[in-house]
Structure 1
């Protein structure tokens, strides 16, 4: 069986190297097929030497090549994973955000057919996906970068963030599909108990979940100690995050 790719991006100072190292460890415990684990980063300090690291690839757009990203909006540089070539990576590639907790086997993410498979954004009715977990073929989507380069100002005006542009682009190509709903869940929306029950019961893992996405606040280390990060949301300490995020 040919190896597949597991890919993540870390740049700037929002997430330290421990996020990459813990992600690598979680993947090791939840993948049975052969794979390469690769991190694209602007600073490999503290990242486990067992992890393959490459610099964020240049894509010919000055704002991105200078690692400033969406200069007027969000600064994430995940769109650089669509660079062609993407170093020596080819074939099926599963992108994972570094601030997730893996709760089940990942092998099945490589089974469904499709050009671009992503989480369906939970609070949107349109085609928007959440790019915390998506699969694509490395080196196969040069047109996305070309379209972004020739219309950067328009894109920045029309799209609130990077994932909206990426999922809209694949939707217009007729190449988007979505993971089964149970596979990727939101910590805030699906794991935490609603209303007053959140004051008495800690967050749980929904049945069938393979990945828990931490978007906004709290982050995994916050959930471990019961820190919400928001005055209006109570989070009790979550033992399963402590056990799995390592």
Structure 2
């Protein structure tokens, strides 16, 4: 049985720090102790570190995930994810899968992705043609808008593949404020494994 791989990305000079890598690493090992957890970063981190080959700014640093120097399939998690249950199903997906955007039914969200090597190669080939142009073109939507260009209608949707296992803190956990798109009551939904925070508040700001 192959060892399950989980990756995250930390770019220095932003709001995220090595302590946030440590937090996610700890949560992953609690719920999937046999996983190999690695972080692509340009600074020291308290886990196995992979050098960040390209210092693309902000969320664009996640494009390092698609470098051909990384082999094999893996599950990617944003640093503001909260792990609340067994990750075996997520890490064991066998095809390209990405979150559906929480607020746009026809959009994608890159907070959580299962990334097979073959599918990453296609993204890299497109990206490296002109990173500066893509960053300018998708400066508002960011990396997930670039991925929509390639994967919308083609990638499996995690919420469909594993119903209920991935939730949004704002939409499904915290007490609903906007009744048109928030449904939480303060409790973690039954069956949830990962809570995506995607923006403020961050999980550590609310005790996660």
Q: Which of 171, 180, 193 matches 1:189?
A: 171
Equivalent residue number for residue 31 of structure 1: 32
- Does structure 1 residue 216 correspond to structure 2 residue 199? yes
Taking structure 1 as reference, are residues 4 and 195 closer, same or farther at Cα in structure 2, changes over 3 Å only? Answer: closer
Q: Give the distance between the partners of 1:99 and 1:156, measured in 2 at CA.
A: 22
Structure 2: gaps (5+ residues)? none
Q: Which of 109, 115, 118 matches 1:136?
A: 115
Q: Which of 52, 57, 78 matches 1:56?
A: 52
Equivalent residue number for residue 40 of structure 1: 40
Q: Give the distance between the partners of 2:16 and 2:199, measured in 1 at CA.
A: 13
What is the Cα deviation at residue 30 of structure 1?
0.6
CA displacement 1:150-190 (0-9 Å, x = unmatched): 24455345432111212331237x3x001134111111111
Q: Give the distance between the partners of 1:101 and 1:140, measured in 2 at CA.
A: 26
Q: Give the distance between the partners of 2:131 and 2:151, measured in 1 at CA.
A: 17
Taking structure 1 as reference, are residues 11 and 208 closer, same or farther at Cα in structure 2, changes over 3 Å only? Answer: same
Query: Mapping of 1:61-72 within 5 angstroms?
Result: 65=54, 67-69=55-57
- Does structure 1 residue 81 correspond to structure 2 residue 96? no
CA displacement 1:15-50 (0-9 Å, x = unmatched): 111111111111111115x33111110111xx32xx
Query: Mapping of 1:91-106 within 5 angstroms?
Result: 91-106=72-87
CA displacement 1:58-108 (0-9 Å, x = unmatched): xxxxxxx2x243xxxx5431111000022xxx3220001111110110001
Pairs aligned (count): 198
CA RMSD across the alignment: 2.4
In structure 2, the residue corresponding to 1:76 is in which secondary structure? helix
TM-score, normalization: structure 2? 0.84
Equivalent residues of 1:8, 1:39 under 8 A apart: yes
Structure 1: gaps (5+ residues)? 58-64, 225-240, 242-246
Greater Rg over alpha carbons, structure:
1
Equivalent residue number for residue 231 of structure 1: none
In structure 2, the residue corresponding to 1:22 is in which secondary structure? helix
What is the Cα deviation at residue 4 of structure 1?
2.1
Taking structure 1 as reference, are residues 139 and 41 closer, same or farther at Cα in structure 2, changes over 3 Å only? Answer: farther
Equivalent residue number for residue 98 of structure 2: 118
Q: Which of 200, 204, 207 matches 2:190?
A: 207
Q: Give the distance between the partners of 1:78 and 1:222, measured in 2 at CA.
A: 23
Q: Give the distance between the partners of 1:202 and 1:84, measured in 2 at CA.
A: 43
CA displacement 1:113-154 (0-9 Å, x = unmatched): 31x21111111132x221111111246532312212224455
